[in-house]
Structure 1
Amino acid sequence: MANIDHVFVLVMENRSFDHVFGLSGIDGVKPPGDAWHFSDGADDRLTDDPPHEFDDVQDQISGLPPMSGFNTGASAAIAMKGFQPPALPVVSQLAQNFVLFDNWFSSMPGPTWPNRFFVHAASSGGLDNSPSGITSGEAVTIDSLGFTFENGTVFDRLSSHGKKWRVYHADAFPQVLAIKGLVGGFFDTETFRSIDPAAGDKSDPFKRDLASDYKIAYTFIEPDYGLLSGDFAAGNSQHPVGSMSAGEHFIKYVYETIRQSPVWQKSVLLITWDEHGGFFDHKLPPTAEPPGDGDQNRRRALHPRQFAFDQLGVRVPALLISPWAPHGQLGSKLFPLPGSSDGVAFDHASIVRSVLETFEINEPLTQRDAKSPSWNDALLDQPRADGSDGPLTLDAPPAPALDVAPAATAAVTANHIGGFALIAHALDLQMAKDKAQVAAIHDNALFAARMGMVAPAGKPAANPISGETLKDYVAYIARETKAHKKP
């Protein structure tokens, strides 16, 4: 049995399996057939964000044959392109040296937020679309802005069993703060710390912490979404209007920091992408076990649907990295499914299942993670020998492409900013409490007038709140948060 003391999970943004690996040439990965008209030529930075809200995904996975919906619509030219070597050297090297899951799916056929909640709670609490943003400042509390889950989260379960966890975030604030109860601890550096590849060996908390006596059992890592700039173009999350290469640099840094640290020999790193981002994949998402918990978050979607959570979302890449992971294997081969070449289906609930199992916590959060496969079944009984347990460094990816589409980010921001605005609101209230001052959202000179929280003299309150105002508010709170947070 593998001897694992540390589990690291990094979740990137919005890429499908075929988009990243379908044309990689990696042994065992077959490209989509010619009938799909899928080709190479994907750009490092895109001019558009392929649609991937719930209704969009229903269209994409439908048609005859299923999954042919990607090849129609305004974004088809973008959605139907993938990467060929050597465009993505970092993830290609990791796939060739460790385990590449070609049988990992997003947890539901929809956008980022419900899928990221499955990473933490094996459920979205009924949320099946992107959340609505700020609509009122009246009677709003820090806790009321958070999303709740009937059975709690993996963080709750670990804490109740005396296991330490920590979030490292490259952005000013991570999406995980949307979970009720976490904002209050955000300014506590024991549980939330930054990761900054540009800071250097002695200044980056992530690298510094791993070089010392690291006692954290579960570490969740979030990339930079670009919130300081007010859109997604300046980050390294691999969001489509951002740079794929910037994300490759970030993945390289995370891997090499763990690989070169004292914790490597007893660690597992899982890297995946939250959902497909509207990019083509040819595998039809299989059926899924509904979580079976409450749906208290359903009404918080901007456009709620009555989804039963009985089908997985589009396939995404996932990489299992460890000296205990077999060399150059595919998930479908390690986890075969009788009568099929596709293998047993994994989804983000497998993160919850695998983390709890690693630390001998036999208490699933929902019916989904209770029925999910665990990556632990693929780990070796003995670690790979020194020198054959993975490269110390990875090849450098190309330099990120320059911003080619500043105008396109307005629509992208409008589709994604609502949920982050809720986090910004909660952090705004927390900082106001800490400083004993008025929150920025209630300060007429800052945002109250623009957001309709306090009406200017002689003018009605602004309603609805514009996307541009929300973007400015999120960027402002991101800057204030970064200044307020202890180093």
Structure 2
Amino acid sequence: MTSQSKDHALDHVVVVVFENRSLDNLLGRLYGPQDGKTFEGVTGRDLTNPIPEWAEHGADRKVVPYTVATDMDSPNPDTGEEYPHTNTQLFNILSEANRFKVGEDISAPYNAPEPGQTPTMDGFVTDYISTLTGELGRQPTYDEYAQVMTGFAPEQIPVLSGLARGFGVFDHWFCEVPSQTFTNRSFWTAATASGFVVNSPVKNWILDNDAETIFNRLEQHGRTWKVYVAEPDRFSMTGLIHYPRLKDRFDTHFEPFSQFETDAGNGDLPDFSFIEPCLVLGHGDYHPAMSRALGHGVVISGVDPPSSILGGEAFLARIYRAYRAMRSPDGANVWNTALLIGWDEPGGTYDHVPPGPVPPPDPTAPPGQLGFGFDRSGYRVPAVLVSPWVAAGTVFNEEHRHTSLIATLREAWDLGEPFSARDAAARTFSHAFTLDRPRDPDIWPTPTPQPVPQYIEDALLVGRSLSTLGKAAFEGIRGYADHHGIRIEGLPHDSKTEVSPEQALRIMRDFLAIHFPRLAPPTQTPKAPQA
């Protein structure tokens, strides 16, 4: 088989991007000093964060030590992830005016540091107490806020840990922006975010994120691609973020994940496959739980935690099984396909390694949203590379970041000039394929995920709640409809009218099934929106 050569290790690339976990949180205990590896983890380190003096509970303890999580949904509820929250987490800057404020309620200068200031990585407890107070309407107890200083042991997440140990792990992979999902996902696929820093307002992304994407560049160079979306999601967050550039491809290039399994089994994967876990309901994406607090001071009972880590583990195992079974003699197979497992951003979960300065995507552009200059990166996230040409137990210590993907594809596939100054400066990972003989897939690790609570499946069916990203997607649809004068069945005329999660879910499914027809169930026949 001609493709059984490491010269073909990057003929096909599969990328899955999960949600909102730091390296320390998921893989900080992957290796310790006893393993004889150079790995920047948490084992053997005395890691703490100070408790602010204004905390009503536990301030006498002075610090919260970093420990092993005892709850698979920790931290629950979710930590703050927007730019102002990340600033507090990295620099422990929180003005009294912004204390107990959440998200868009935080005012300028958004807890931002002085230019050139070095992150101290000691504001995670400060921000979590402030965030929880804003969400719960009271100050949290010590046990409630101490969750932010926990991470998981390898035996708790056997799939991710098994693949990280069984292949190669990056211990200095940084997200691109000290903020939340949309901006970092945009950097994964476009090496810029058109100056946008936070998810809101979502119509920014739908209307004005017109940056060239890797998908456009691939087409220009005769390369093939698909975005595969985990069921039961009915639309692609990648498509939403890059709407101006990708809207004409929604009905041809966006498929349910079951099609990935079919394509992988038949050797029919495109050159580039981008996989989205279930981001709206559930989740299956490792995202921290958000079930106890759905908004500012809105606390509900009777909704169990979604166990998104367990769901993410199960979905990762499903991806790995499909990848490992790829044995096509003349198409895409394990020997000519690399699998990269990544995260969009840490989402406020603790990490101890300070991020550094980075070049702005466009050095001539004015500061972006919230006055951010895109001159410093976000902090570390997990990243694992799976391939028969990667030696088991490899640790890549060099600094990489999301734009390392685009830099690698440009180099390996001769895709032309950099997209921005960011991917121009990013280190590639083409050096990772060091073995002269491939490792037999039959003897690769076979990690088994822990059972996923049945509740997740039930919750998906009844749509009892939408995730943070689900709510953002809904608001984006609402903003898009308002901008274009489109009337959507079930959507109130007054934009201030509250919409229940169940109703929002129905509106999203009906509206987006028209835009993403391949992601809609065969029996779904939504009415087209009226202009």
* TM-score interval, normalised by the smaller of the two chains: 0.7 to 0.9
Matches within 5 A, 1:15-414: 15-25=21-31, 27=35, 28=37, 29=39, 30-31=41-42, 33-36=45-48, 37-46=65-74, 47-63=76-92, 66-72=120-126, 73-74=128-129, 76-133=145-202, 145=207, 147-149=209-211, 152-170=212-230, 171-178=233-240, 179=242, 180-188=244-252, 191-195=253-257, 204-214=258-268, 216-226=270-280, 232=281, 234-241=282-289, 242=306, 243-262=308-327, 263-292=333-362, 298=368, 304-332=369-397, 344-380=398-434, 382-386=436-440, 390-391=444-445, 393-400=446-453, 402=455, 413=467
Query: Conserved in 1, the CA contact under 8 Å of 2:390 and 2:435?
Result: no
Query: Conserved in 2, the CA contact under 8 Å of 1:323 and 1:389?
Result: no
Q: TM-score, normalised by structure 2?
A: 0.71
CA apart distance, 1:184: 2.9
| Whole-angstrom CA distance in 2 between matches of 1:368 and 1:378 | 21
| Whole-angstrom CA distance in 2 between matches of 1:92 and 1:475 | 37
| Whole-angstrom CA distance in 2 between matches of 1:86 and 1:270 | 22
Corresponding residue number in structure 2 for 1:2: 7
CA apart distance, 1:305: 1.0
Q: Which moved more, 1:477-486 or 1:110-119?
A: 477-486
Query: Conserved in 1, the CA contact under 8 Å of 2:310 and 2:449?
Result: no
Which AA in structure 2 matches 1:159?
A: E
Q: Deviations over 1:188-239 (max 9, x none)?
A: 2xx11101xxxxxxxx31111112242511100000123xxxxx4x221121
Which AA in structure 2 matches 1:2?
A: D
Which AA in structure 2 matches 1:291?
A: P
What is the SS of the residue equivalent to 2:370? coil
| Whole-angstrom CA distance in 2 between matches of 1:387 and 1:177 | 33
Which AA in structure 2 matches 1:399?
A: V
Which AA in structure 2 matches 1:185?
A: R
Taking a change above 3 Å as real, the CA distance of residues 314 and 86 of structure 1, as seen in their structure-2 partners, is same
Taking a change above 3 Å as real, the CA distance of residues 401 and 281 of structure 1, as seen in their structure-2 partners, is farther
Which AA in structure 2 matches 1:174?
A: S
**RMSD between aligned residues:** 3.1
| Whole-angstrom CA distance in 1 between matches of 2:467 and 2:496 | 16
Which AA in structure 2 matches 1:472?
A: Q
Query: Conserved in 1, the CA contact under 8 Å of 2:263 and 2:269?
Result: no
Residue 12 (1) aligns with residue 18 (2):
yes
Query: Conserved in 1, the CA contact under 8 Å of 2:119 and 2:354?
Result: no
Which AA in structure 1 matches 2:161?
A: S
Instruction: Point out where structure 2 has 5 or more consecutive residues left out of the alignment.
Output: 1-5, 49-64, 93-117, 133-144, 290-305, 328-332, 523-531
| Whole-angstrom CA distance in 2 between matches of 1:133 and 1:93 | 37
CA apart distance, 1:386: 2.2
CA apart distance, 1:387: 5.1
Q: Deviations over 1:52-109 (max 9, x none)?
A: 1101100101149800101224254221111113110001110111111110011110
| Whole-angstrom CA distance in 1 between matches of 2:466 and 2:194 | 25
Which AA in structure 1 matches 2:28?
A: G
| Whole-angstrom CA distance in 2 between matches of 1:281 and 1:387 | 33
| Whole-angstrom CA distance in 1 between matches of 2:465 and 2:358 | 32
What is the SS of the residue equivalent to 2:91? coil
Query: Conserved in 2, the CA contact under 8 Å of 1:125 and 1:296?
Result: no
Taking a change above 3 Å as real, the CA distance of residues 312 and 465 of structure 1, as seen in their structure-2 partners, is farther
Identity percentage of aligned residues: 29
Which AA in structure 1 matches 2:68?
A: D
Residue 478 (1) aligns with residue 490 (2):
no
Q: TM-score, normalised by structure 1?
A: 0.78
| Whole-angstrom CA distance in 1 between matches of 2:172 and 2:46 | 21
Query: Conserved in 1, the CA contact under 8 Å of 2:174 and 2:377?
Result: yes
| Whole-angstrom CA distance in 2 between matches of 1:65 and 1:290 | 18
Corresponding residue number in structure 2 for 1:457: none
Instruction: Point out where structure 1 has 5 or more consecutive residues left out of the alignment.
Output: 136-142, 196-203, 227-231, 299-303, 333-343, 430-437, 453-461
| Whole-angstrom CA distance in 1 between matches of 2:448 and 2:334 | 19
Which AA in structure 2 matches 1:289?
A: P
What is the SS of the residue equivalent to 2:13? strand
What is the SS of the residue equivalent to 1:238? coil
Corresponding residue number in structure 2 for 1:339: none
Query: Conserved in 2, the CA contact under 8 Å of 1:44 and 1:400?
Result: no
Q: Deviations over 1:428-461 (max 9, x none)?
A: 89xxxxxxxx99x614x621xx2x3xxxxxxxxx
| Whole-angstrom CA distance in 2 between matches of 1:41 and 1:373 | 33
* Higher RCO (CA < 8 A, seq sep 6+): 1
Query: Conserved in 1, the CA contact under 8 Å of 2:236 and 2:276?
Result: yes
